[in-house]
Amino acid sequence: MEISNTEAWRRGWEWAATRIVIGDGAAWIWNLAGQHFPGAIQIVDLYHARQHLWELADWMVPMKDLLDHGRAELLVEWLREIAAAHAGTQPGLAEEIGRQADYFETNTPRMRYPEFREQGLFVGSGVIEAGCKAIVYVRLKQSGMFWTVRGANAIIALRCCRFNQRFEDFWAETRAA
């Protein structure tokens, strides 16, 4: 995250009128966001959140509408009721529904999708993930390639510098170090 933090500042983070961190809902992402980007609006990627509902496919359609309309509190309430109804007959299913309810409850403040959309904010990380795929995955996952962590990190650093028009800066900093 230190590289991302530096890159954010290089790109004008301090002058941004609206600061946003989009993540999949994992606690470690929000911990890093709080540490490196305090005060930023935190948004759970809508499509990752929907994946949690797909794991409960039977009830997904009406609950997807709740999620899309920023009604995560009601979604959590419904999931808890469904889990309780299945606790005696299908304890495994009830446990999974409870886990998903915990996920939505933890991330409720980050799932105000209508509010975020009204502000013109992205509610999905697809553009970011596509960029990662184009820069990192396409290069590292070619046929017959095997990487050490050090080698992969070096290639990723070079590709990021190239795509950010910082290739010459990278070499100047490397020589200076």
Give the pTM: 0.69
Task: Write out pLDDT tens, residues 20-51.
Answer: 999 988 899 999 999 999 999 999 999 898 88
Q: What is the mean pLDDT of residues 119-130?
A: 88
Q: Residue-wise over 16-52: b if at least 16 C-beta within 10 A, else e?
A: eeeebbbbebeeebbebbeebbeebbbbbbbebbeeb
**What does the domain layout of the chain look like in residue ranges?**
1-123, 125-177
pLDDT on residue 5? 67
The tens digit of pLDDT for each residue in 98-121 reads 999 999 999 999 999 999 999 999
